[in-house]
A and B are shown apart, each in its own frame.
Chain A
Amino acid sequence: MSEENWIEVGSTDSIEEEDLIRFDHQDKTFCVYKLTDGFYATDGICTHEAVHLEDGLVMDDEIECPMHQGIFNIKSGEALSPPACEDLKTYPVKVDNDKIFIKID
């Protein structure tokens, strides 16, 4: 796997715990989360209708869409509650020197 796929998102203190930031790269939007056990990343747009999950609520390991309360597991991307039924894509995250990187395929 090539190194270039790891994209720098920002510093680890740019996200509060149990919160997220939106990260745009080229024409794609991602959400990067800080949970109690580390950092995670998913697609930034709900799979139900095109709304940004950056405005959603992070609770434990879940992100809840601000539009119709569809819920996804942040770690697996699994759609947990309707009207969301399609899973959310997740991405690997690593931290290096207090910087967060996500791997985009």
Chain B
Amino acid sequence: MKNNIIILGGGQAGIYAAREIRQNDSKSNIKILGEENLLPYERPPLSKDFLLDKKKEEDLYFHSSDVLKNENIEFENISINKVDFENKKLFAKNDNVYSYDSLLISTGSENKKLTLDNNLKNDIYYLRNLEEAKKIKEIVSNKNKITIIGGGFIGLEIASSLSQLQKKVIVIEIGNQLMGRIIPKQIADLVQNTHIEHGNEIILNKQIEKITKKNGDYEILLNDNSLIETDFIIAGIGSTPTVKLFENTNLKLDNGIVTNQFCETSIKDVYAAGDVSNFYHPFYERNMRLESYQHAQNHGICAGKNIAGVKTEYTSIPWMWSDQFNLNLQLTGICDEYDEIIERGKDINNGVIYFFLKNNKIRGACGVGIIGKVGRDIRITSKLTEKNTIVDNQILSDQNLKLNKLIQK
């Protein structure tokens, strides 16, 4: 049967879903509606290699327009501003109306904005999309002292890139460690040391009281009355799922769009995937929302299968990375449900990993090391987690013993 399938949001989850639907369904119309006037592209390089000029715009696209044409996937640059789930219709600002039989929502997430009392809205920069990355890149080229508000992954990646561009960088973080509570303090401290070694200043436990503009530069007043002078401000203070469009509808929302393990929402024929979805994970037996490259890809693929009628559970063990200076940090599984923590390694040159176990089984792990040093072990950890392997703590904690010995074939 020929269906009209609409994918709302032309990012990573959207494009992977579209191609997966086409693999399983050669007849239906597939249309991606995206408000960015760009084919789906990778966001991770925006804070890293794109700022560093090691990757250009053309390197970021997942697929060329030829691939989409060959697979008969339509991409339309349009912003949707109203939905009518009852009549299965989407409305755009220009009065265009789109009818669907099945809808995938993959609207991603958006940056939280600082609440400032004075009129500095246009002076603070944020990074989520290519346009913003281009603007930041252009402006920083003639700035010297840059302040990043928020010591999360994206803020720290920008701090690393700008430092490599010979800028003086200050990071202000409200919490008592970098990268939030999800990352073990020991690992956060190792990353912090690397930033400091490269000349970045890291200020923890401080809140912004006030920002004032002075002769084109800025003065940031902190809650301990200290004053920072800076000529450019970027904020990375976390993000929220892009769900404003659905707030007054029947769609069930709770920290994103609530979906089951088949990417199905509370409304029939409406699916959600990627950053926007708070999905049920059957392995962990709970809902979670992830903002990661691997998840956007695999969740999109899973949604695509389900939309095409191939009923498929989403069971991927979460995984994400962050690259800062010569460090590669990786996180697998979940690290907030444990009764035991095991440390593997102490030296960043060989990699340091913390495993989080419950009932002798790994639930998650977080590691950091010089590029290449933790990836293999983290990957094996995902496999051990997935297979519910009872692990020998001795092997986990001894870096001289190979972890692949633990994988049961």
Chain A residues within CB distance 8 Å of chain B:
49, 51-52, 54-57, 64-69, 82-83
Complex Cα gap A56–B379 (Å): 9
Cross-chain pairs A/B with CB under 8 angstroms, 18 sampled: A49-B49, A51-B371, A52-B372, A55-B373, A56-B375, A57-B376, A64-B379, A66-B328, A66-B372, A66-B374, A67-B323, A67-B328, A67-B371, A67-B375, A69-B294, A69-B379, A82-B62, A82-B297
Complex Cα gap A9–B83 (Å): 63
A56 with B376: in contact, given A51-B371, A82-B297 (CB under 8 Å)? Answer: yes
Closest A residue to B44 using CB positions: A83
Complex Cα gap A66–B297 (Å): 18
| B223 part of interface (Cβ distance < 8 Å) | no
| B380 part of interface (Cβ distance < 8 Å) | yes
Q: Residue B375 contacts which of A49, A55, A82, A83 (CB distance < 8 angstroms)?
A: A55
Task: Return chain A residues, CB-CB under 8 Å to B375.
Answer: 55-57, 64-67, 69
Complex Cα gap A66–B44 (Å): 16
Task: Return chain A residues, CB-CB under 8 Å to B379.
Answer: 57, 64, 66, 69
Complex Cα gap A55–B372 (Å): 6
| B325 part of interface (Cβ distance < 8 Å) | no
Complex Cα gap A57–B380 (Å): 8
| B321 part of interface (Cβ distance < 8 Å) | yes
Question: Which of A52, A54, A57 has the most chain B CB within a 10 Å cutoff?
Answer: A57
Q: Residue B376 contacts which of A55, A68, A82, A83 (CB distance < 8 angstroms)?
A: A55
Number of interface residues of B (CB under 8 A): 20
| B404 part of interface (Cβ distance < 8 Å) | yes
Task: Return chain B residues, CB-CB under 8 Å to A55.
Answer: 372-373, 375-376
- Interfacial residues of chain B within 356-409, with CB under 8 A of chain A in the complex: 371-376, 379-380, 404
Task: Return chain B residues, CB-CB under 8 Å to A66.
Answer: 328, 372-376, 379
Closest A residue to B59 using CB positions: A85
Q: Report whether over half of chain A's contact residues are helix, strand or loop; otherwise say mixed.
A: loop
| B85 part of interface (Cβ distance < 8 Å) | no
Q: Are A69 and B371 in contact (CB-based, < 8 A)?
A: no
Complex Cα gap A68–B321 (Å): 7
Closest B residue to A49 using CB positions: B49
Q: Are B372 and A67 in contact (CB-based, < 8 A)?
A: yes
| B42 part of interface (Cβ distance < 8 Å) | yes
Task: Return chain A residues, CB-CB under 8 Å to B355.
Answer: none
Complex Cα gap A38–B212 (Å): 67
With both chains docked as a complex, state the minimum distance between the C-beta of A82 and any C-beta of chain B, in angstroms.
7
With both chains docked as a complex, state the minimum distance between the C-beta of B338 and any C-beta of chain A, in angstroms.
24
Q: Which 5 A-B pairs have the closest CB atoms?
A: A66-B375, A55-B372, A57-B376, A66-B372, A57-B379
Task: Return chain B residues, CB-CB under 8 Å to A54.
Answer: 372
| B246 part of interface (Cβ distance < 8 Å) | no
A83 with B293: in contact, given A56-B375, A69-B375 (CB under 8 Å)? Answer: yes
Excluding A66-B372, A66-B379, 9 further A-B contacts by CB distance (< 8 Å) are: A52-B372, A54-B372, A57-B375, A64-B375, A65-B375, A66-B374, A67-B371, A68-B321, A69-B375
Complex Cα gap A52–B375 (Å): 11
Q: Are A67 and B321 in contact (CB-based, < 8 A)?
A: yes
Task: Return chain A residues, CB-CB under 8 Å to B75.
Answer: none
| B280 part of interface (Cβ distance < 8 Å) | no
With both chains docked as a complex, state the minimum distance between the C-beta of B369 and any C-beta of chain A, in angstroms.
9
Complex Cα gap A54–B375 (Å): 11
With both chains docked as a complex, state the minimum distance between the C-beta of B220 and any C-beta of chain A, in angstroms.
34
Task: Return chain A residues, CB-CB under 8 Å to B49.
Answer: 49
Q: Are B321 and A57 in contact (CB-based, < 8 A)?
A: no
Complex Cα gap A20–B370 (Å): 20
- Interfacial residues of chain B within 75-94, with CB under 8 A of chain A in the complex: none
Closest A residue to B375 using CB positions: A66
Interface string of B176-194 (1 = CB under 8 A from A): 0000000000000000000
- Interfacial residues of chain B within 305-345, with CB under 8 A of chain A in the complex: 319, 321, 323, 328
Task: Return chain B residues, CB-CB under 8 Å to A57.
Answer: 375-376, 379-380, 404
Question: Which of B293, B294, B372, B374 has the most chain A CB within a 10 Å cutoff?
Answer: B372
Closest B residue to A66 using CB positions: B375
Q: Are B372 and A51 in contact (CB-based, < 8 A)?
A: yes
With both chains docked as a complex, state the minimum distance between the C-beta of B17 and any C-beta of chain A, in angstroms.
15
Interface string of B157-169 (1 = CB under 8 A from A): 0000000000000
With both chains docked as a complex, state the minimum distance between the C-beta of A79 and any C-beta of chain B, in angstroms.
13
With both chains docked as a complex, state the minimum distance between the C-beta of A86 and any C-beta of chain B, in angstroms.
10
Complex Cα gap A74–B138 (Å): 41
Task: Return chain B residues, CB-CB under 8 Å to A56.
Answer: 375-376
Closest A residue to B42 using CB positions: A83
Complex Cα gap A51–B321 (Å): 14
Q: Are A69 and B42 in contact (CB-based, < 8 A)?
A: no
Complex Cα gap A49–B328 (Å): 12
